Amino acid sequence: MTGCVANGGKIPTAPTRNVSGFFSLQQVNGALLPAVSANRPPNACQGFLDSGRLFLTVDPQTYELATSTHFDCGNGAGPRFANDTETGTWTLEGGPETFTITFTPNGASFHHLTTATINTTAVTIRLDAPHQDAGNPNFSVTTFWRKQ
């Protein structure tokens, strides 16, 4: 008896299936949302991460991470980045309860994801937050996401 299985016959492992799903952004550098993600100075306006979503699929193992950011320039609202999205693939190592997840972006990486710590309910990711000053260094923040 033969059957078809995606991904060259590799059946997703139980840990891979258990950590996959939808996660929502809860904290940036330990602060609840909206939270400062780009300091002023050196940024012209202070940046805030307002929300984020992370979706991990199993077969194939792909991810989509999207964030929403706004800037406060002190004289009213500054620019808004409503949906900065990055996609790619992911792999899982370690266990049995806490794992290291490695992200590999498709094409150019906006958030510069590398590795993160994940379990069946939460993930902690270091990422580069968006900011309005093109050409300046990115602001790296630690983010905490909860599975929904």
Checking if the pLDDT of 128 tops 50, the result is: yes
Summarize pLDDT for 70-88 with one digit per residue, the tens: 888 887 767 676 677 899 9
pLDDT given for residue 84 in this prediction: 79
| 22: helix, strand or coil | strand
Q: What is the dihedral of CA 52, 81, 127, 33, to 10 degrees?
A: -50
Rounded to two decimals, the pTM is 0.85
Sequence-distant contacts of 123-130: CB under 8 A, at least 24 apart: 123/19, 123/23, 123/54, 123/147, 125/54, 127/65, 129/28, 129/37, 129/38, 129/47, 129/49, 129/67, 129/69, 130/37, 130/38, 130/47, 130/67, 130/69, 130/81, 130/84
Which residue, 69, 60, 73, 57, is CA-closest to 19?
Answer: 57
Residue with tokens 């993600």: 37
Summarize pLDDT for 55-66 with one digit per residue, the tens: 999 989 999 999
